[in-house]
Amino acid sequence: MLDKIKQAVLAGEMEGIAELTNQALAQGIGAREILDQALTPAMDIVGEEYEKGDRYVPEMLISAETMKGAVTVLKLLLVEAGVKARGKVVIGTVEGDLHDIGKDLVAMMMEGAGFEVVNLGAEVTAEQFVKAAKEHEPDILGMSALLTTTMIHMPGVISALKDAGLRDQIKVMIGGAPVTQGYANKIGADGYAPDAASATKLAKSLV
Ligand code: B1M
């Protein structure tokens, strides 16, 4: 059953995943087991295949959505069982930038990896990032930018976090097509990732 669930995530079988997950639970397989032995390993494979170029973005999205379908079924049970989220992430696309596909993919992969994710959407101002940081107290704040004209808002968000006295408690990670590791170093971010799979790995290493 666990292998069936794993294969369903790999194949992106969104339609049947909720039923399959419920069947596994009915057979006495624990929510934690399903998460650790089927869903997470499947998403690890998806990430590795994407990194190697064996899987394309739409396939990764479909697998991520499939995993979300299973996680939705398990969520309540996992909370009840006291399975702590790996950490909390507040994520958004920066001010003036409405590209959100890549950011949503990162958010989904992180959720799949066990993070609690607060997705602020696109065109998020520094003030909105800080407000969300105060409200949700995340371990990580993630910023995405797809335009050379909007990535310049990233240092402003970091300054605003500093001004609000929050910078020491929150790791900042950034990404998006024009963003680089060099830029992350320059603006004092804690990390940069080039794609959703490595963003998830980075988030794990930051918490
Ligand atoms: Co726009 N656009 N666009 N666009 N668009 C680009 C980015 C562009 C490169 C196209 C081009 O000219 N070749 C170019 C930017 C040039 C530049 O600044 N260097 C561009 C432009 C110029 C514009 C407009 C200015 C066009 C115009 O109106 N004249 C305009 C700007 C609007 C605005 O934001 N204010 C605009 C508008 C749009 C659409 C609305 C039509 C649409 C966005 C729809 C949406 O997102 N809801 C759009 C699209 C779709 C694109 C392209 C074609 C695709 C972007 C995408 O979704 N890629 C893009 C060209 C391209 O990339 N081929 C382009 C797929 C996605 C999965 O990848 O977003 O890179 P990506 O995300 C990756 C990684 O970057 C990384 O992981 C993701 C998953 O692997 N990542 C992170 C992303 N965020 C991360 C955060 C992290 C870590 C990793 O940590 C927090």
- 61 and 120 inside one domain: no
Are both 68 and 149 inside the same structural domain? no
Q: Which residues of the chain have pLDDT under 50?
A: none
Candidate from 43, 99, 154, 174 with most ligand 1 atoms within 8 A of CB, to mutate: 99
Query: Do 121 and 35 belong to one domain?
Result: no
Residue range(s) defining the domain that contains residue 59: 2-80
Q: 98 and 198: one domain?
A: yes
Q: Pick the residue whose CA is nearest to atom 75 on ligand 1.
A: 176
| Residues 65 and 114 both lie in one domain | no
Q: Which of 80, 110, 144 is the last residue of a domain?
A: 80
d(CA 78, CA 163): 37
Give percent of the chain with pLDDT exceeding 70.
97
Q: Which residue has the tokens 């407000």?
A: 131
Bridge partners (DSSP) listed for residue 92: 143
Compute the C-alpha angle 45/49/50, nearest 5°: 115
Closest residue CA from atom 77 of ligand 1: 195
Q: Please say which residue of 59, 80, 101 terminates a domain.
A: 80
Residues lining ligand 1, CB < 6 A? 57, 91, 96-103, 105-106, 142-144, 146-149, 173-178, 193, 195-196, 199
Domain count, the chain: 2
pLDDT of residue 17: 96
The predicted structure's pLDDT at residue 79: 66
Of 80, 110, 128, the residue at which a domain comes to its end is 80
